[in-house]
């Protein structure tokens, strides 16, 4: 469980909020759970859009950096690039980098981000592995 500093909306005191990711229909979702140590105010956030940088960094720090590895070559490699490009809305530059990385360590991120991509690939029969790399 990752802890991020959070300013209480009610009293302005700073407490730690616990951050987590889960797999949603369109990628890794993030959740934030906060209870103010000063005034007792609580809130839970459950969001499907991109995980904010400071929350993602805290998750990477506590949960480690994970890599998505692919052995795909030939047409399967191109199919994998297409799936990952669409899943991540990649820029052309990122796509070029991704192409150069397969076969091998295609991408890295949080465990759940990589697992989500692994599921997307598996749906079209492409095997990949997710392992901790940092
Ligand atoms: Zn408070």
Cα 60 to middle of ligand 1, angstroms: 27
The pLDDT assigned to 2 comes to 94
Q: What is the CA radius of gyration of the chain?
A: 17
Shared domain check, 83 and 39: no
- Give Cβ neighbours of residue 129 (< 8 Å, ≥ 6 apart): 68, 69, 118
Shared domain check, 72 and 50: no
Query: Total structural domains in the chain?
Result: 2
CATH number, residue 100: 3.30.1390.10
Residue 71 CB-density burial (10 A; 0-12 exposed, 13-18 middle, 19+ buried): middle
Shared domain check, 57 and 31: yes
Cα 11 to middle of ligand 1, angstroms: 4
The pLDDT assigned to 50 comes to 81
The pLDDT assigned to 28 comes to 86
pTM: 0.88
Q: What is the pLDDT of residues 93-110, one digit of tens each?
A: 999 999 999 999 999 999
Cα(119)–Cα(108) distance, integer angstroms: 15
Shared domain check, 70 and 128: yes
User: Which residues neighbour ligand 1 (ion) by CB within 5 Å?
Assistant: 8, 10-11, 13, 36, 38-39, 41
The per-residue pLDDT of the chain, averaged, comes to 94
Range of the domain at 74: 66-132
Shared domain check, 76 and 127: yes
Shared domain check, 59 and 72: no
Q: What is the pLDDT of residues 40-84, one digit of tens each?
A: 999 998 887 788 999 999 999 999 999 999 999 999 999 999 999
The pLDDT confidence band at residue 27, using thresholds 50, 70 and 90, is: confident
């Amino acid at each position: 469980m990752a802890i991020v500093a959070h300013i209480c909306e009610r009293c302005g005191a700073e407490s730690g909020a616990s951050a987590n990711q889960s797999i949603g229909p369109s990628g890794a979702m993030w959740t934030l759970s906060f209870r103010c140590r000063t005034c007792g105010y609580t809130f839970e956030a459950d969001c499907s859009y991109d995980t904010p940088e400071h929350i993602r960094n805290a998750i990477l720090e506590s949960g480690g950096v994970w890599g998505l590895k692919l052995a795909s070559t030939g047409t399967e490699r191109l199919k994998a690039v297409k799936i990952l490009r669409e899943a991540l809305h990649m820029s052309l530059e990122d796509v070029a980098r991704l192409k150069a990385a397969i076969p091998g360590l295609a991408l890295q991120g949080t465990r759940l981000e990589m697992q989500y991509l692994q599921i997307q690939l598996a749906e079209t029969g492409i095997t990949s592995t997710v392992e901790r790399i940092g």
